[in-house]
């Protein structure tokens, strides 16, 4: 390799590592935002109003940023940018931005107009809080949150424009900046209104606006962080409705194919908040938000990076018609993802009580039950990410979308039934059981589709890995759970220590058992972890 080529490769490696570090940092900051919220606002009547009102814009964020960006904006713009078709990029980006404004501004207005009805539907009777005060506070907050929809839409287009021009850093930094802004608003709230977290009527307007405006400012930061870099691309932005020939049709087809599972997932989250409020009473929706944040953390930090790193190689193997390589690229990462996510899930289940004591101020036991119920579903959630990408890479997106959509529909059906049947303190746990069941079934359906399309070699070793994960999970939980129970209590920091000790013990036992049952899968997981550190060391 020439000196220049080596320098370019090294530079690309450093840039990729920087982006990866920033992305993980953004995810950790997002989780840190939840931690700070738990210590400042908490599972109170105010927290219930905040979480319920903010769920609607948050759902639209996931659909717009997580769905439209990856499924529509980048694929449409990337090819034209790669070919140097500047005029085509400008026309497409301008049309996307115009349509986003035309749709998001009226949608924000509609949310504001319908705020009383939406909050009445989501809150239910408001057990444990003053129903009138809770409803009025939620409506006022939703009025301030509604403009977030516009900022999310604008940010999605600019993210896509930047990524299609291989400018990845600012879109990776933006969520980190957003989380920092919101965290600051939480901290600023405490001296202004911390004494009235369970008394919405006593909350001052200033304290309320610090929370609501601060959160909306965090979303505005998503947009402003990428605005400057997008302007520096030098594109001419002109209001226009018409896409270049053929592009509009592609936008519609991409959106229809890939947004359905995401919409099903986000509908499930909205339903879960409503069921938590109605079935669990005051603070239950806040506990649900904690459980969901802890549940999705290993998915975002472990499963998605593994699936994303495999996606390009899978696409190349499919283009080369190399079925053997394709099968290896599915089977190996799937086994590694199963072991790594199961290890984290085992730790979460074992340390559920002290973890719950860190987050929940009112009812830690309810959150602990929920975490134990959610924990087994981490594996299924992670495998859905990998198997669905394996199907998308080979242009078999329909069975992937069908499996995911069916899984979320099963979660919704199970949640409605189980929350209606259990006592109030078990409502969030019922949501956890339903999620674990639905996502495990979705993973099995995706695996069946992979086997049908790519043959049995694509699932090589999956049975043994499943046995290793199950045995390791049960024995790891059995080892860590008594330690967690013995050490729990005594405040936040002792609970943090108890969670670390019991979780670490559970992971050690899990690793020993999993390695004994399926040594090759354990080695694949270890190699995956080792490769991350080697890339980091080699890029310095």
What confidence tens digit (pLDDT) does each residue in 256-309 have? Answer: 666 788 889 989 999 999 999 999 888 899 999 999 989 988 887 788 777 767
Q: Is residue 197 part of a domain?
A: yes
Q: Whats the size of the chain, residue-wise?
A: 540
Percent of the chain with pLDDT over 70: 86
**Cα–Cα dist 528/306, whole Å:** 9
Task: Summarize the confidence of residues 215-244 as an average pLDDT.
Answer: 85
Q: Is residue 166 part of a domain?
A: yes
**Cα–Cα dist 184/108, whole Å:** 25
pLDDT at 247: 63
Binning pLDDT at 50, 70 and 90, where does residue 2 land? very low
Identify which has the larger pLDDT, 467 or 230: 467
SS3 content of the chain, % helix, strand, coil (to 5): 85, 0, 15
Binning pLDDT at 50, 70 and 90, where does residue 245 land? low
Q: Is residue 93 part of a domain?
A: yes
Binning pLDDT at 50, 70 and 90, where does residue 14 land? low
pLDDT at 69: 56
Q: Is residue 291 part of a domain?
A: yes
Q: Is the pLDDT of residue 162 over 70?
A: yes
Per-residue pLDDT of 406-464, as tens digits, reads: 999 999 999 999 999 999 889 999 999 999 999 999 999 999 999 998 888 888 888 99
For residues 171 and 244, state if they share a domain.
yes
For residues 319 and 434, state if they share a domain.
yes
For residues 225 and 368, state if they share a domain.
no
For residues 508 and 463, state if they share a domain.
yes
Torsion of CA 288, 290, 293, 295, to 10 degrees: -70
Percent of the chain with pLDDT over 90: 42
| DSSP single-letter state for residue 64 | I
Tokens 């949150």 locate to 145
Task: Summarize the confidence of residues 509-528 as an average pLDDT.
Answer: 88
Task: Summarize the confidence of residues 316-328 as an average pLDDT.
Answer: 79
pLDDT at 161: 81
Q: What are phi and psi of 99, to 5 degrees?
A: -65, -35
pLDDT at 219: 92
Q: Is residue 265 part of a domain?
A: no
Helices and strands counted in the chain (H then E): 21, 0
Binning pLDDT at 50, 70 and 90, where does residue 6 land? very low
pLDDT at 378: 94
Q: Is residue 269 part of a domain?
A: no
Handedness of CA 181, 187, 192, 198 (dihedral sign): positive
Q: 371 lies in which domain range? A: 283-540
For residues 489 and 524, state if they share a domain.
yes
Q: Which residues contact 283 (CB under 8 A, 6 or more apart)?
A: 42, 43, 44, 45, 47, 48, 128, 360, 362, 363
**Cα–Cα dist 346/476, whole Å:** 6
For residues 305 and 170, state if they share a domain.
no
Identify which has the larger pLDDT, 64 or 223: 223
| DSSP single-letter state for residue 242 | P
C-alpha angle 61/295/466, rounded to 5°? 125
C-alpha angle 7/11/13, rounded to 5°? 120
Tokens 């975002």 locate to 300
Q: Is residue 266 part of a domain?
A: no
On whether the CB atoms of residues 59 and 266 are closer than 8 A, the answer is yes
Per-residue pLDDT of 78-114, as tens digits, reads: 666 766 667 777 777 888 888 888 888 888 899 999 9
- Nearest of 436, 406, 427, 343 to residue 43 by alpha carbon: 427
Task: Summarize the confidence of residues 333-360 as an average pLDDT.
Answer: 93
pLDDT at 82: 65
**Cα–Cα dist 334/348, whole Å:** 21
- Nearest of 525, 510, 523 to residue 471 by alpha carbon: 510
For residues 112 and 176, state if they share a domain.
yes
Helices within 114-168 (DSSP H only): 115-123, 131-145, 148-164
For residues 303 and 212, state if they share a domain.
no
In 3-state terms, what secondary structure has residue 40? helix
Show which of 259, 291, 319 is a domain's final residue: 259
Per-residue pLDDT of 15-53, as tens digits, reads: 555 666 777 788 888 888 989 999 999 888 899 999 999
pLDDT at 237: 79
Q: Taking the CB of residue 99, how many other CB atoms lie within 10 A of it?
A: 17
Show which of 210, 243, 259 is a domain's final residue: 259
For residues 200 and 311, state if they share a domain.
no
- Nearest of 308, 295, 309 to residue 341 by alpha carbon: 295
Identify which has the larger pLDDT, 194 or 145: 145
Number of domains observed in the structure of the chain: 2
Tokens 């967690």 locate to 484
- Nearest of 472, 30, 14, 418 to residue 222 by alpha carbon: 30
- Nearest of 13, 65, 32 to residue 176 by alpha carbon: 32
**Cα–Cα dist 307/460, whole Å:** 17
CA neighbours closer than 13 Å in the CB half-sphere of residue 36: 19
pLDDT at 483: 94
For residues 101 and 25, state if they share a domain.
yes
For residues 250 and 288, state if they share a domain.
no
Q: Is residue 7 part of a domain?
A: yes
| Global pTM exceeds 0.75 | yes
Task: Summarize the confidence of residues 172-187 as an average pLDDT.
Answer: 92
Task: Summarize the confidence of residues 352-361 as an average pLDDT.
Answer: 92
Q: Which residues in 21-52 are b (16+ Cβ under 10 Å) and which e? A: ebbbbbbebbbebbebbbebbbbbbbbbbbbb
Q: Share the mean pLDDT of the chain.
A: 84
Per-residue pLDDT of 392-410, as tens digits, reads: 878 787 888 899 999 999 9
For residues 289 and 225, state if they share a domain.
no
Identify which has the larger pLDDT, 510 or 199: 510
């Amino acid at each position: 390799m020439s000196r220049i080529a080596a320098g370019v490769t090294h530079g690309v490696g450093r840039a990729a590592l920087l982006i990866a570090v920033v992305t993980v940092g953004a995810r950790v900051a997002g989780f840190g935002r939840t931690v700070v919220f738990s210590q400042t606002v908490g599972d109170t009547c105010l927290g219930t109003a905040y979480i319920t009102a903010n769920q609607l814009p948050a759902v639209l964020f996931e659909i717009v940023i997580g769905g439209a960006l990856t499924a529509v904006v980048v694929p449409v713009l990337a090819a034209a940018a790669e070919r140097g078709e500047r005029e085509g990029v400008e026309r497409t980006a301008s049309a996307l931005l115009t349509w986003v404004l035309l749709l998001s501004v009226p949608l924000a207005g509609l949310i504001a107009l319908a705020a009383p009805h939406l909050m009445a539907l989501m809150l239910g009777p408001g057990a444990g809080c003053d129903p009138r005060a809770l409803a009025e506070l939620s409506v006022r907050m939703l009025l301030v949150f509604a403009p977030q929809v516009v900022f999310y839409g604008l940010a999605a287009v600019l993210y896509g424009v930047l990524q299609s021009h291989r400018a990845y850093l600012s879109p990776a930094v933006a969520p980190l900046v957003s989380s920092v802004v919101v965290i600051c608003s939480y901290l600023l709230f405490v001296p202004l209104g911390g004494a009235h977290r369970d008394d919405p009527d006593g909350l001052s307007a200033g304290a309320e606006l610090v929370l609501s405006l601060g959160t909306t400012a965090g979303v505005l930061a998503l947009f402003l962080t990428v605005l400057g870099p997008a302007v520096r691309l030098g594109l001419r932005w002109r209001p226009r409705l018409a896409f270049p020939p053929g592009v509009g049709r592609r936008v519609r087809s991409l959106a229809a194919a890939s947004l359905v599972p995401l919409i099903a997932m986000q509908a499930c989250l909205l339903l879960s908040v409503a069921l938590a409020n109605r079935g669990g009473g005051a603070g239950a929706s806040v506990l649900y938000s904690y459980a969901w944040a802890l549940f999705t953390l290993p998915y975002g930090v472990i499963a998605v990076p593994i699936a994303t790193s495999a996606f390009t190689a899978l696409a190349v193997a499919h283009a080369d018609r190399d079925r053997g390589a394709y099968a290896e690229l599915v089977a190996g990462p799937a086994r590694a993802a199963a072991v790594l996510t199961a290890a984290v899930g085992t730790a979460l289940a074992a340390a559920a009580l002290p973890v719950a004591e860190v987050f929940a101020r009112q009812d830690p036991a309810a959150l602990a039950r929920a975490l134990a119920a959610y924990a087994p579903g981490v594996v299924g959630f992670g495998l859905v990410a990998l198997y669905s990408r394996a199907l998308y890479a080979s242009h078999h997106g329909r069975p992937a979308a069908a499996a995911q959509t069916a899984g979320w529909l099963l979660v919704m059906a199970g949640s409605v039934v189980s929350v209606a049947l259990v006592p109030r303190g078990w409502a969030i746990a019922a949501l956890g059981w339903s999620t674990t069941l639905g996502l495990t079934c979705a993973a099995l359906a995706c695996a069946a589709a992979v086997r049908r399309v790519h043959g049995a070699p694509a699932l090589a070793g999956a049975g043994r890995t499943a046995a290793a994960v199950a045995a390791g999970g049960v024995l790891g939980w059995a080892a860590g759970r008594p330690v967690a129970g013995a050490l729990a209590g005594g405040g936040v920091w002792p609970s943090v220590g108890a969670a670390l000790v019991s979780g670490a013990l559970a992971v050690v036992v899990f690793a020993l058992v999993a390695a004994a049952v399926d040594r090759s899968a354990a080695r694949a997981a270890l190699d995956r972890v080792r490769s991350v550190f080697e890339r980091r060391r080699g890029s310095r």
